[in-house]
Amino acid sequence: MLVLDPTFGDPEARELAAATAKGDTDLLRRVAAETGDADRRSFLLGVAVDHQGRPDWLARWPEEEPGEALAHLARGAHGIAWAWEARGTARAEMTGSEQFREFRVRLGVAERDLLRAAELAPDDPEPWAHLLTTARGLQHGPEELGRRFAEVIARHTWHYRAHAMMLQGVAPKWSGSTGLMFNFARARAAAAPPASPLVSLVVEAHLETWLDEPDGEPAETEPAETESGHFADAAVQRELRAVAARLASATDAPVTPALSRARNLLAFGFALGGDQFAAAEQFAAIGPHVTESPWYHLAGDIIENFTAARERALRAV
């Protein structure tokens, strides 16, 4: 049975989630110190702080250990999600003033924690990656967003989270434009290593364009039944096929959250564009690793959306 699993079946991630749910930071400290791969460390940190509300241990940790960079990083990373809990996921015009007020308060606290973490651990790219999100939410503007992105890639050139957050920042719905978004996505994808999940930045940009289509709410579209708007454009499908070709060399690579997300994005784009053969290839590579995005953009249950699209694709081959 398919389920959304934020740990992606990773034993270390599952152990970390269980430990931090009980307020135990020992494993988190060890993982943060010993994990050399910046993207894996980013994933594990995300799992560690993925808790609803504001856990007491996170609230207290930086006060108890003010010189511990990880304490500020963990509370700051959690604080971003906690701020969005207050805001909700609706567009700005559908969000109330009280929601915005609490959102800004919580995000401001997160930003201060992350800046302190960056000060205490100057070689760590992770605080700067999260500071891209606070810059976007606090509307610091494109210049500051670009400065923070430069801080990340100076420390880890292909930091996945940072690229995903930078793309959101230059998207039209925040401080950017369609042109800026596609220029960023195409330039960074072209420069990335061939099998890097970052080649899917282009697909992410097309997803944002599809979401902004004026002809009704995208969430009303069901990929199991119909082709949909922007993704049905032949030029878009050609660009998706080029991305898929670059990712093809990753077939023997270990499954990572970033790679799974890239394949889910491609499956979604091919399914909505009507290329069921290409979608089926991606579904085969995905296996059980369903990601919440992009499937939550459709009406109904995430797993049901994924399963319906996969079944339609498999019937075509």
CA distance 163 to 255: 19
Last residue in a domain, options 130, 159, 188: 159
Asked, for residue 172, whether it belongs to a domain, the answer is: no
- Same domain for 14 and 151, yes or no, is yes
CATH number at residue 62: 1.25.40.10
- Same domain for 255 and 106, yes or no, is no
- Same domain for 155 and 181, yes or no, is no
CA distance 165 to 162: 5
What is the token pair recorded at 224?
Answer: 């199991």
pLDDT at 97: 78
Give the SS3 label for residue 36. Answer: coil
Last residue in a domain, options 110, 127, 159: 159
Does this model's pTM top 0.85?
A: yes
Q: Which H helix or E strand runs over 134?
A: helix 126-137
Q: Measuring CA to CA, which residue among 294, 258, 271, 269 is closest to residue 223?
A: 271
- Same domain for 2 and 72, yes or no, is yes
Asked, for residue 95, whether it belongs to a domain, the answer is: yes
Q: Mean pLDDT in each 10-residue stretch from start to end of the chain (317 residues)?
A: 91 98 97 97 98 96 98 98 82 72 94 99 99 96 96 98 98 92 98 94 98 63 62 97 92 86 98 97 96 94 97 93
Cβ neighbours of residue 208 closer than 8 Å, sequence gap 6 or more: 167, 171, 172, 173, 181
Last residue in a domain, options 125, 159, 193: 159
Residue-range definition of the domain harbouring residue 220: 177-317
For tokens 């991630």, the residue is 13
Asked, for residue 171, whether it belongs to a domain, the answer is: no
| Residue/partner pairs of 170-177 with CB below 8 Å, 24 or more apart | 170/142, 170/145, 171/205, 171/208, 172/208, 172/212, 173/91, 173/208, 173/212, 174/136, 175/136, 175/139, 175/141, 175/142, 175/145, 176/142
